[in-house]
Amino acid sequence: MNCRGGRGAMTGSLSSIVTFAPEIIATATLVVDSRGRSFTEITDEATRFVAESGAKDGALFMFMRHTSASLVVQENADPNVRSDLAIALDRLAPADAPWVHDVEGPDDMPAHVKTMLTGVSLHVPVIAGTLALGTWQGIYIAEHRARPHRREVVLQFIGSRR
Amino acid sequence: MNCRGGRGAMTGSLSSIVTFAPEIIATATLVVDSRGRSFTEITDEATRFVAESGAKDGALFMFMRHTSASLVVQENADPNVRSDLAIALDRLAPADAPWVHDVEGPDDMPAHVKTMLTGVSLHVPVIAGTLALGTWQGIYIAEHRARPHRREVVLQFIGSRR
Amino acid sequence: MNCRGGRGAMTGSLSSIVTFAPEIIATATLVVDSRGRSFTEITDEATRFVAESGAKDGALFMFMRHTSASLVVQENADPNVRSDLAIALDRLAPADAPWVHDVEGPDDMPAHVKTMLTGVSLHVPVIAGTLALGTWQGIYIAEHRARPHRREVVLQFIGSRR
């Protein structure tokens, strides 16, 4: 365990700064029918939204309108990563723990916990009209309930226009 | 565990895109006196901020200025959900683990861990002047310390004006 | 465990609202050479970006372009806090769990899990040209791999100009 970067010591290299005028805020809703306990990639849908909204430089904001599904940016190469992520979440919020709230089934309260831990709100930068994801990053809807659900994600772009 | 949505296959339905000009960035600070180890709902305060700032279409950004309390969007119907969320966090960061940092009491280091896991920064879309929360979503300050604390949250709206 | 704040009861005190026009979206990339399994503070780099971009009132958005390192706002006083945070993450995603994805080494899958739990996207408000961090808050790159890596963080400011 190392901790660097006290006040005064620069630990990173900062590129030149590019500046634009914010011209638009574009909003749409993405509806996805999830499979139970799954990661569904929505990178293509986010890319399409960015293209169709006329976005140039700014950021894409995403918000999941539910309490038992979440938004995750994770590796989009080996599907085993996402299987392992789901297993890791099961370890952190097991279905057989003594939950008080169990009226909606044994998978419901663990789904709330997993959603709290992984989050319903995130952003991805948009640079020159393109999502500035890293090489191995994809955007996923994480469905934490055992059965399929219809999920709504609000997509918004704030920035300059092409 | 299912993983869908490879490049090229659209898995979701995207609504039409609505576009406005970003006209304002409005900022205020919300001060809340928390109870110890609690979820305090601030949805009404966020709603009031959105109304008073003249917000129309854009996003509300919230930031917790502390390292042992966090911001969570979760179910606002059954209070047992929030009790179970708190118990789940206790399992993940138990007070009796062998923490090195214990000068501020046995509840302090677990509070830092819980804050790291749940986050201090989030946004909620604002559409036609209204927070676009899902049916069951509320916005909460999660107090992770055992005793009450005064907590500051910075609220900001970026978007168009009514 | 207490839950307050039903509809109608204001639980917090809201300051007066200050409003500006959003004039710029500024973007740069920060490259940091991390040490293995470490928290590297980038508060100074973020401060420098805010100053050099001419930012006045708005928000700084940060995005980590990787799937095994994350962004965390946490205590910048006692270094033991960050050591304990790293140990806490090890407990939540142990290297010796039976991960399926292990081709990149025993530290890789735990690093993905820790990244999912702590997040790659966050914002900090900027007020009067200054990051509105709390007294004890610093911004950190959390490196979850065992060896050093070169990490890219996209910094963006949206708001008014000095």
DSSP secondary structure letters along B12-52? EEEPPPEEE---EEEEEEEEEEPPSSEEEE-HHHHHHHHHH
C residues 106..125 contacting B (CB < 8 A): 117-119, 122-125
Q: Closest approach of chain B CAs to the CA of C70, in angstroms?
A: 11
Does residue C15 have a pLDDT over 60?
Answer: yes
ipTM: 0.94
- Which structure tokens are listed for C52? 């050099």
Cα–Cα distance list, B86 to A80, B78, C146 (Å): 30, 14, 31
Interface contact B134-A66, CB threshold 8 A: yes
Reference C61, options C143, C140, C121, C129; nearest CA is C121
Alpha carbon distance A39, A61 (integer Å): 19
Alpha carbon distance B26, B49 (integer Å): 9
Does residue A83 have a pLDDT over 80?
Answer: yes
SS3 of residue A16 by DSSP = coil
Does residue C68 have a pLDDT over 70?
Answer: yes
- pTM: predicted TM-score of the whole model, two decimal places: 0.94
Cα dihedral: B31, B33, B37, B43 (round 10):
-50
For B112-134, how does the pLDDT look when each residue is reduced to its tens digit (9 = 90+)?
Answer: 999 999 999 999 999 999 999 99
Does residue A7 have a pLDDT over 70?
Answer: no
Alpha carbon distance B20, B58 (integer Å): 8
Within 10 angstroms of residue B103's Cβ, the number of other Cβ atoms is 9
Residue B2: predicted pLDDT:
40
Judge whether A6 is closer than 8 Å to chain C, CB to CB.
yes
Alpha carbon distance C99, C61 (integer Å): 33
Is C151 buried (19+), middle (13-18) or exposed (0-12) by CB count in 10 A? buried
Q: Closest approach of chain A CAs to the CA of B131, in angstroms?
A: 11
Interface contact C58-B25, CB threshold 8 A: yes
State which residue of chain B sits closest to C19, comparing Cα positions: B26
Is C156 buried (19+), middle (13-18) or exposed (0-12) by CB count in 10 A? buried
With beta carbons under 8 A apart, name residues in chain C contacting A75. Answer: 67, 112
For C93-105, how does the pLDDT look when each residue is reduced to its tens digit (9 = 90+)?
Answer: 999 999 999 889 9
Reference A121, options B64, B62, C5; nearest CA is B62
Secondary element (H or E) of residue A137: strand A137-143
Does residue A2 have a pLDDT over 50?
Answer: no
With beta carbons under 8 A apart, name residues in chain A contacting C41. Answer: 3-6, 11
Cβ(C61)–Cβ(C156) under 8 Å? yes
Q: Which of B10-14, C84-88, C158-162 has the lowest mean pLDDT?
A: B10-14
For A132-160, how does the pLDDT look when each residue is reduced to its tens digit (9 = 90+)?
Answer: 999 999 999 999 999 999 999 999 999 99
